[in-house]
Amino acid sequence: MLEVLNHPLITHKLTQMRNKNTCTKDFRENLDEIAELMAYEVCRDLPTQPVDIETPIGPCTGYELAKEVVIVPILRAGIGLLDGIRRLVPTAKVGFIGLYRDEETLEPHEYFAKFPKNLDQSIVMIVDPMLATGGSALAAIDMMKKRGAKQIKLVCLVGVPEGVTAVQKAHPDVDIYLAAMDDHLNEVGYIVPGLGDAGDRIFGTK
Ligand code: PRP
Ligand code: URA
């Protein structure tokens, strides 16, 4: 399943992020706000279970989340989506995957991994602003599946058909959510028109 969340508020904020004149603070704040808006849609099909409660007026059957949610940002840039999603799902646990793309080969390299327990029982949201070649997302999904994850959602801001197709081919069971589908990758693996290097723009490292 691929869902591109074409929403006027998300598009407005993403346009500010794409603008090369947007400063680090505004870039980060827009990303944080988009993450919260995306989380609302990404969580739409979370399973619930009935729970008997008492309102001040009388008995009532309510519904609560039936499964734990685990958010897994891909370091570094995925960190920029974490707080916005956690504001909507404050009970979520958090795991981390450290990956960087080799600038020449574009291959992902793992440098960190730390996860909560019971991944097999949880809804796992892998989050990263950019889905370019798809190499990092594929590596992250493989890591999560090796550790038992069965229900995985991949939440990215901007994707391209190359990355989406790579993930869909290798993992048809993973739901993909994007704020926007861009045109193509350039010769050095950057998304066009994209927004540049997400990690550098979030953390001010360039
Ligand atoms: C960026 C981005 C993704 C990856 C996407 O990270 O945040 O993780 O590239 O590219 P791919 O789909 O071709 O794998 P980068 O490796 O630049 O690391 P950073 O987040 O530390 O800047
Ligand atoms: N990673 C980024 O940060 N930006 C791109 O356009 C592609 C990969």
Determine the straight-line distance between the first and last CA of the chain, rounded to whole angstroms. 35
Instruction: Determine how many CB atoms are found less than 10 A away from the CB of residue 186.
Output: 12
Q: Which ligand is nearest to the CA of 186?
A: 2
Q: Which ligand is nearest to the CA of 103?
A: 1
Which atom of ligand 2 is the closest one to the Cα of 189? 7
Q: What pLDDT does residue 206 have? A: 84
- Can you tell me the distance from the alpha carbon of 43 to that of 33, in angstroms, rounded to the nearest whole number? 16
DSSP 122: S
Global pTM exceeds 0.85: yes
CA 189 to centroid of ligand 2, rounded, Å? 7
Give the bridge partners for 97, in sequence order: 74, 113
CA 41 to centroid of ligand 2, rounded, Å? 24
- Can you tell me the distance from the alpha carbon of 194 to that of 200, in angstroms, rounded to the nearest whole number? 14
CA 179 to centroid of ligand 2, rounded, Å? 15
Give the bridge partners for 52, in sequence order: 61
pLDDT tens digits along 23-81:
999 999 999 999 999 999 999 999 999 999 999 999 999 999 999 999 999 999 999 99
- Closest alpha carbon to 71 in 18, 17, 114, 24: 114
Cis geometry, peptide bond prior to residue 59 (ω within 30 degrees of 0): no
